[in-house]
A and B are shown apart, each in its own frame.
Chain A
């Protein structure tokens, strides 16, 4: 279990921290891209919690995932400020464009880019504002070309 080799030191580093679970889950997901289900019993054991409690937390928060994401994660803002400038049309377009692709498309409810929408985030690192369907296609094409 290669993933458990990554997970063990992360748990160890945070185990005694008050409210350690979210920091542990974040660090595992940052390292592996997702939280491997086989890590759940291990976290439960180390934090003296039940597996159900760990699973409950992972499944409660939209940010955490138990399966690997696509090659890139594209989050399109679907909240009101972006709706006011065409986010719905952009989200529809993104769905069509990315159907069957290697990318993961997710809605996000506000990136704090509300005066320059519609906005999106790629892989939690890159932000784009005033995204038109045409600009969206260019961004995706560039990511595909960078394979």
Chain B
């Protein structure tokens, strides 16, 4: 798989020269153009834009430097072309291949005015209002260039960690208040301390990059847009607990992320020191995002959930003490080490410290990645950032936290975005994915899908999940056919799954079902309320 269409690689990065006009390119400073190589930008036609820029530059005999950066996360503006000017980076978007000759004519190489011009990228309000930490380099840095990563502050956390005792690194992470960003929100420092204290000759660092929740893409963006940040975070974890080997388990649905990580590792040189890292590809199993199923898969078996205890921190990969964290968790660590734990802890609210990269998805006008400290309201995210629905119809329901997350009605949009506030209303933030639906949504249909998805993806180890999900689909079908007496049965089934399942797949599938039933009874034909 090749994401670049026509570039030749220069040493140390993906920046390339297009096409060298005769005699040019040596002394003349070439303008740098950024066109994202991020999967979302590619899906929206970024390669065609690159080809058009190359063709137009060739026609005019202009030499320029092209960087395939990550995305800034303003997905509705992709492909977002940026030009490095004396006034900083100027953005144009969304750019279609057909716009390119016009952009050249308008002098976009020097930031010239054009209907697609958005001004300085950093001043676009949607971006300027965010507070990016883990994601601050995505879209800015050249993901193929370690030198560029270091020039933008990368490597400082690892450098400091090398001078610290393992326990001091763990203390910094604990002190920052960082909690696992994969969804369970377990304090990262406590997990690391357990692994540090576990005596073993071999320990492992595993990155859970099996980002299977619909509505989430922050892990993908980071791996594609700033891979060295993840590598650095994992190397720091290695120093903290005494592990010399790490694995990044990436889902097979993310071939571009796999390629970006492989390329980064290939060019890493001695950046990671003695820490060895390997990228492993999943194979299309949602439940492998559950940490013990992931470990089974890494060991070469079916992704069947393990009973806990023992915790992976005590007996994880190949039976060894293992730190297993999400991409964003690891990516948050370098800055915590570089800036100090307090700077991170000072952001957020309650027991939710720091920032969370939220992902606005589904039927939303301005979708993309919004990294802000905890404590904003869901409404601010949906309307101030998201601009309401893409269809222009009223937003009726929002699913927060992936396929196992609750469906929330408009009446709950004022809930604050922090782990505890969401727990209070029987919901969760999960991995920060927010999927918006307009008023054409049928929540009984969505509840059925939640059960169906569980039936498809259940690993099959425990009965409530394996059988309960299929019975759930059948019961909802009967309810939708008009037999509302079955609602009580559905509630009991959900109770059984919640209490009796081995992992989150079975025990949390009832959350979208019950929340849909509670907040949208009319969709189930339920006249009782």
Contact = CB atoms under 8 A, between A and B. Distances in A.
Whether chain B is bound by chain A comes out as yes
A56 B361 contact: no
Contacts, number: 154
A60 to B, nearest CB: 4
Interface residues of B, number: 59
A44 B461 CA distance: 24
Contacts of B283: 22, 25-26, 61-64
A124 B40 contact: no
Given A18-B318, A20-B300, A23-B280, A115 B285 contact: no
A62 B215 contact: no
B214 A19 contact: no
Interface in B429-446: 433, 435-438, 441, 446
Given A80-B449, A84-B362, A114-B216, A60 B302 contact: yes
Contacts of B437: 84
A136 B61 CA distance: 37
Given A18-B318, A62-B283, A113 B217 contact: yes
Contact of B298 (A19, A47, A85): A19
Interface stretch (A5-13, A94-102, A104-112): A104-112
Contacts of A23: 280-281
B227 to A, nearest CB: 15
Secondary structure type dominating chain A contacts: loop
A114 B281 CA distance: 21
A52 B452 CA distance: 28
A81 interface: yes
Contacts of A42: none
B220 A109 contact: no
B297 A113 contact: no
Nearest to B441: A84
A82 B300 CA distance: 31
A114 B43 contact: no
Question: For A19, A64, A108, A115, which residue has the most chain B Cβ atoms within 10 angstroms?
Answer: A115
A82 B281 contact: no
B39 A127 contact: yes
Given A84-B362, A85-B363, A124-B255, A114 B214 contact: yes
B121 interface: no
A114 B367 contact: yes
A20 B364 CA distance: 42
Nearest to A128: B43
B76 A113 contact: no
Contact of B435 (A19, A60, A81, A127): A81
Residue of A19, A63, A125 most packed against chain B (CB within 10 A): A19
Nearest to B299: A19
Given A80-B446, A116-B40, 8 more contacts: A19-B298, A22-B282, A79-B214, A83-B449, A112-B40, A114-B361, A115-B359, A115-B361
5 A-B pairs closest in CB distance: A115-B367, A79-B214, A114-B361, A21-B300, A84-B362
Interface of A: 18-23, 25-26, 47, 53, 56-57, 60-64, 79-85, 108-117, 119, 121, 124-125, 127-130
Interface of B: 1, 39-40, 42-44, 75-76, 78, 211-217, 220, 252-255, 280-286, 297-303, 318, 359-364, 367-368, 390-391, 399, 403, 433, 435-438, 441, 446, 449, 453, 456-457
10 contacts: A19-B280, A61-B282, A61-B302, A63-B282, A81-B433, A109-B453, A109-B457, A112-B39, A116-B40, A116-B44
